Each structure stands twice: as structure tokens, then as C-alpha cells.
Structure 1
Amino acid sequence: MGWDISPSGVQGVLTKAGKAAEGLSNAGKTLETTMTSAAKSAGTVTQGGHEKDGTMGLVAGALGQFIEAHQRRLAYIAARTSNSLTGAAKATNAYVQGDLDMAADAQREALKEPKIDLPGVGDGKGAK
């Protein structure tokens, strides 16, 4: 099995995926801000919506539980996405470096002094 990787193609995909991941991250930040605002706007358990001790109402509590339940999942998705993009970039760089190393090895081999081994020369069997 051979490898045929286009580093510029990988870079293009990583750029697009990075932009999509950035959008996902921004959506997560917006969700957190929006949910906090929504919870505050939902009011409290007392009539009139303002309780001095800050006890939240049922809707605010449900929104808080929702965020708490999904916050770990969202953080996992963000970390996994970042690790995947970084891993793909590192693997491609290693591939390119491997190509460069192989080319340098081949060039070194080509530049070595040739060894000429003619029959009868230097082996004591040659002409006298």
C-alpha cells in the first residue's frame, strides 16, 4: 500500500474544517450567553419575578440543567475537533519531512565516490 498525499489539498481541507470549527465554537459561546440571559429573564419562583435571595424559577432551573448536561459534551466535541485537526496537520508535515529525508538520502547516495571493481585489477590476479 502506498501513500499519495497532497499537502496543499490537506491544507485546504484543514482550513475549511478550522473555519467550521470556529463557527461551532462561536455557537457554543453564544449558546452559553443566551441561555444565561434566558434564565435570568425567566424570573423566579415568586410572583413578580424578583426574589431577594435569587432563587430561580422552574424555567431558569431547567435551562441551567440543560446547559450543565450538555456542557461536557460540547467541550468534548471542541477538544476532539481541535485534536483531529492538529493530528492531521502533524501527520502531513511528517509525510512531507519523510519525502524530504528520502530525497536527501537518495542524493547523498548518488554523490558518493563510485567504487570500481574491475576483474584482475588490485586483486593480485591482474596483468604483470
Structure 2
Amino acid sequence: MRKNTKQRAMVYEELKSRYDHPTPEELYYSIKPRYPKISIATVYRNLRILAEEGKVIEIKSDKNILRYDAKTEPHYHFKCTKCGAVLDLDIPYNKALDEELNKKGYKVDYHSTIFYGLCPNCAK
């Protein structure tokens, strides 16, 4: 187990306070004014470690842009094709999909789905 560093705690707390699924760069720019000595490499490294530890999840959206989410229980996301927002969807997680694959011999831990289209604000 890795030592929990001050920088890792700072990155984790900032991510937990946000619901916009930020990129590492977005997190860096929101932390930097309060902690001027932090580097972008530190943010990337600590996000990778937090993901390996299961404390955050990585979301690969279009063009392989990595975004991060501190909400680790299985849930779905929606990516707005107009404004670029990545949002949590308040719909039930479908465990039946996991169970169906398990019946076929697969060992599913969870599944991840991103829906694409217009968010409610852009659809108006």
C-alpha cells in the first residue's frame, strides 16, 4: 500500500468536490491557485494512483480524453455532443447485463456506458 501524500489528498478532495468529471488539466488549474507548487505531473500521477486504488474512476470519452469521477459505484454517464459536458445519469445500473455475460462464462466486475447526444440545456 502506498503512503497517502498531502498532494494525493488534495487532488482527491478537489475531485470529490466536483461533479463535472474534470480532466487532469482542469483539476490542475483549479488546485494551482491554492497550492502554487503543485505540478501537472503530480496531478496526473496521483489520479493514476487513485484509480489503481479504486478511489476514483477513469472515464475515456471521445478522442480518448481522460476524465475522472470520485463516484465509484457503478453508474452511467452522458456526454453532450454540443457543450462537451459529461454528466452522471440518475438511472438504475443494469446488473442483468453483467449476469447475462457471467452465465456465458465471462467474469464481469462491472460495465461502463456513456450515452451521447444533447444534454437538457443544449436540447432547448
**What TM-score do the two structures reach when normalised by structure 1?**
0.23
**What TM-score do the two structures reach when normalised by structure 2?**
0.24
Structure in which a larger fraction of residues adopt helix: 1
Structure in which a larger fraction of residues adopt strand: 2
